[in-house]
Structure 1
Amino acid sequence: MNRKKLTVKPKNRPALAQCSECGLCDTSYLRFAKRACAFITQHIAQLETLAHGRERDLDNDRELYFGVHQHMFAARRKQPLEGAQWTGMVTTLAIKALETGLVDAVLCVQSDPNDRFTPRPILARTPEEILASRINKPTLSPNLKVLDEIPDLGIRRLLAIGVGCQIQALRTVQAEIGLEELYVLGTPCVDNVTRQGLQQFLQTTSCSPATVVHYEFMQDFQIHFRHEDGAMEKVPFFGLNTKVLKEAFAPSCLSCFDYVNSLSDLVIGYMGAPFGWQWGVVRNPKGERLFNLIKDELEFTPIVEQGDRKKAAQQGIAFYDEGVTIPVWVARLVGIVVNKVGPKGLEFARFSIDSHFIRNYLYVKRNYPQRLEQHVPEYAKKIVHQYQLPSK
């Protein structure tokens, strides 16, 4: 069956300025956009029931923050995958899913041949195509623009890798795609940017923006930049030029409340693990099936939960809101102190969630006040209202 391919200009996106460029509106599934778009119709609770069989328990602190799950783990590959961003858990799992016949294809993202940070979504059918997608592309990515290719390629079982806004749209239309099985491997996502915004971020933050291969906001309260020659550059969170960077983040990311990718079967990222390890959240039996594909190749460390994030999160509200920037030497000193006595493991993850949810709640309240009540999920409201917020 051939589907008509649609080309929609950005100015005509249904979500307007809040569009996260997930790619759905470039397909025949555009007709579902009003319901599927996370920035038009927020319905994570209903989609949790679709994906996991139930909604999260708001009285269970771990589920309040991290969503429906069966268990969590902290791990890394015993033999790191060459060229991967960390040890290659996501890439290895995707290859295993393909090689074992669990799926026919993997929806993943390669880089544009002319620019490593410009994403190019593909339906990978070989291990080599999956390997070519390793390393995150920290920009808005139209992952779902390939959905119309699925019937034409005869794909019946798919593993989709994506971030929260993409997965909410995918879950909403999954019954329309005609798949026998859909597996979803998610990554936590926060503070994404357009390609232009990424350039602004790199030029503002890194000493050598042209040679950055990848970067991540890490648990030691520093941004880790890896450069082409393998060198690591570390920049303290607290020394960022907040006034400038506030303008770099996409409006969709400033309106997002699904940092932990609630609708994925399995989530793999760094945010809830000790430094040097990856954090995994198995949400349902499909997630367990994916986890079991690589379990024997991993070494594990205990999940930790140390410190108290609330004072730091409360103080950070004014820090971000007022665009405070401090000298780098002071920022490094603050980072060292916070890294020694501050939140770790799951408590660090809660700190990050609290900080971003507060910021995003205030952004929506100020820019889209008429949508605030409907747009912010109940779990996010409960998290945000633990804190004293600015009156305006």
Structure 2
Amino acid sequence: MPAGATRPARDICSDCGLCDSRWVAYVRRACAFLHQGFEAMEQAAHGRSRDLENEDELYFGVSRTMATARLRQPLEGAQWTGIVSRIGVRALESGLVDAVLCVQQSPDDRFTPVPILARTPEQVLAARVNKPTLSPNLKVLEQLPGSGIRRLLAIGVGCQVQALRAVQNTLPLDQLYVLGLPCVDNVSRAGLQTFLESSSRSPDTVVHYEFMQDFRIHFRHSDGSTETVPFFGLDTPRLKDVFAPSCLSCFDYTNAGADLVVGYMGAEFGRQWLVVRNGLGEQLLDLVRPELDMAPVTSRGDRRAAVQQGIDAYDKAVKLPRWLAELVGAVVQRIGPKGLEYARFSIDSHFTRNALWVRRHHPEIAERHIPAFAQRIVSRYRLPST
């Protein structure tokens, strides 16, 4: 698409990159923000759609198995232990794939994403650590024709995976594997700077950060030090509108179209959550299974009261003084939801917020845009008037 052209999804475009490739002709049926097709996508990728009467599938999508894990020998420089990067490396080393679609960073800015078709383990490792900004991953599909790449592992977030699945059968590939990351609340580069400046003691030295299961944001700095800030201490009035409109209208937190999902949200603190959705996901997990310390998923606590309180606090843009935020954080960390219940807390909190945002900002699409599973979850809570 020519520079400066209006994206078909307009203000809720996630800049997934499809419009920057020759597959732009498919965008009106492929874009997650123009066309929601969860059931068809799940059926095509996994052989069936999620069972809405099964509480786990209602929240987390189609799954064969769920577990938690960490690498016994963590990768140096990885954001957590490095499971995603290790899978990418093993996929290349084993000959399972010819390339890995992943995201490196600009040499000029650590948070500016640079999508790449990595052909070597070194290129995959150079992509470790999340970049919490909108990333045009799918623009590198343009490089596939004539590249010799016939088997591809694509690592991406939900909106990218939805678009990729929609054009999968038109790609010059013999096999596609999809490793998904749970994703929520990305920002533009300018928005990220606002977030860092309002949240961290040293915004210019932050290497990576994550909203973690202990209800704190964990910042890692370039000197190796770690800084934590309670969720409840964020400058909500300043940050309320900093997240990308695409993220405020997204309901694919758990990456429903991926073969295998790796993230932190459904695991106890210090571990990663694994969701195997189909046989291809099993193949990806088998690449690293011998290197993992694995354990069953767990679930403790009750999220519902905390979610309802959070809905009201966010809508009113409440900002707590730091001492009170620390106190609330300590209490919630001790008695709050853990494991899968924490994941449901996070999903409930974001789905209710996003449903309210869509109904207020795009009422003309709300009915068709909010998928059935999200509507069922949102209906369990009392939302402010639109």
With the shorter chain as reference, the TM-score category is: over 0.9
Give the superposition deviation at 1:151: 1.5
Amino acid at match of 2:290: D
Residue aligning to 1:353: 347
Asked if the contact 2:99/2:118 (under 8 Å) is kept, the reply is yes
Specify the SS of the correspondent of 1:12. coil
Q: Does 1:373 align with 2:367?
A: yes
Q: Does 1:383 align with 2:377?
A: yes
Large movers: runs of 4+ above 2 Å: 6-9
**Which stretch shifts more, 207-216 or 11-20?**
11-20
Give the superposition deviation at 1:45: 1.2
Structure-to-structure mapping, 1:16-31, within 5 angstroms:
16-31=10-25
CA–CA distance in structure 2, aligned partners of residues 7 and 297 of structure 1: 46
Q: 1:198 aligns with which of 175, 184, 192?
A: 192
Residue aligning to 2:205: 211
Residue aligning to 2:167: 173
Residue aligning to 1:130: 124
Asked if the contact 1:73/1:279 (under 8 Å) is kept, the reply is yes
CA–CA distance in structure 2, aligned partners of residues 196 and 279 of structure 1: 30
Residue aligning to 2:226: 232
Root mean square deviation of aligned Cα: 0.7
CA–CA distance in structure 2, aligned partners of residues 383 and 187 of structure 1: 21
Q: Which deviations, in whole Å up to 9, do the C-alpha atoms of 1:327-349 show, x marking residues without a partner? A: 01100110110011110000000
Q: Does 1:34 align with 2:35?
A: no
Specify the SS of the correspondent of 1:74. strand
Q: 1:322 aligns with which of 308, 316, 325?
A: 316
Q: Does 1:244 align with 2:238?
A: yes
Q: Does 1:98 align with 2:92?
A: yes
Asked if the contact 2:66/2:296 (under 8 Å) is kept, the reply is no
Residue aligning to 1:304: 298
Amino acid at match of 1:155: I
Give the superposition deviation at 1:44: 1.2
Normalization by structure 2: what TM-score? 0.99
CA–CA distance in structure 2, aligned partners of residues 245 and 122 of structure 1: 31
CA–CA distance in structure 1, aligned partners of residues 294 and 322 of structure 2: 35
Normalization by structure 1: what TM-score? 0.98
Q: Which deviations, in whole Å up to 9, do the C-alpha atoms of 1:295-332 show, x marking residues without a partner? A: 00000233110000001001111110010000011001
Asked if the contact 2:299/2:338 (under 8 Å) is kept, the reply is yes
Give the superposition deviation at 1:178: 2.0
Amino acid at match of 2:293: E
**Which stretch shifts more, 233-242 or 298-307?**
298-307
CA–CA distance in structure 2, aligned partners of residues 97 and 150 of structure 1: 18
Q: Which deviations, in whole Å up to 9, do the C-alpha atoms of 1:83-112 show, x marking residues without a partner? A: 111001000000100110110000000000
The 1:8–1:36 alpha-carbon spacing in structure 2 relative to 1, beyond 3 Å, is: farther
For structure 1, list consecutive stretches of 5 or more residues without a partner in the other structure. Answer: 1-5
CA–CA distance in structure 1, aligned partners of residues 353 and 382 of structure 2: 12
